[in-house]
Amino acid sequence: MTEPLTTEGYEQTKEKLRDLETRLAEIQKRTDLAPAHLASVRRSYNMMIREFLQEIKLYEAKQAKPNPLTPAQ
């Protein structure tokens, strides 16, 4: 299991995700790659995208969860 994201890590992960999605879109347009290589790269990028999305969702869920030690008003 990975460390929970800090606020700074959250912003960095969102930026990495945008960059990765952009690179994946550019790679999919390429015609000079062998089909097997292209498929391997797509699998790898999609796996990283899933991991980044999971980390982002966990951070956002943690931020949205109310603190149980804080009295309700």
Is the residue at 1 inside a domain? no
Is the residue at 15 inside a domain? yes
Q: Pick the more confident residue, 66 or 4.
A: 4
Is the residue at 11 inside a domain? yes
Tens-digit pLDDT profile for residues 21-66 = 999 999 999 999 999 999 999 999 999 999 999 999 999 999 887 7
Is the residue at 54 inside a domain? yes
Is the residue at 2 inside a domain? no
Is the residue at 71 inside a domain? no
Q: 53 lies in which domain range?
A: 7-64
Give the three-class secondary structure for 25. helix
Which residue is it, tokens 């930026």?
A: 15
Is the residue at 55 inside a domain? yes
- In total, how many domains does the chain have? 1
* Cβ-contact 59, 4 below 8 angstroms: yes
What CA–CA distance (Å, rounded) separates 55 from 63?
Answer: 12
Is the residue at 73 inside a domain? no
pLDDT band at 67 (very low <50, low <70, confident <90, very high): low
Is residue 5 predicted with pLDDT exceeding 60?
yes
pLDDT of residue 39: 96
pLDDT band at 7 (very low <50, low <70, confident <90, very high): very high
* Cβ-contact 65, 73 below 8 angstroms: no
* Cβ-contact 19, 48 below 8 angstroms: no
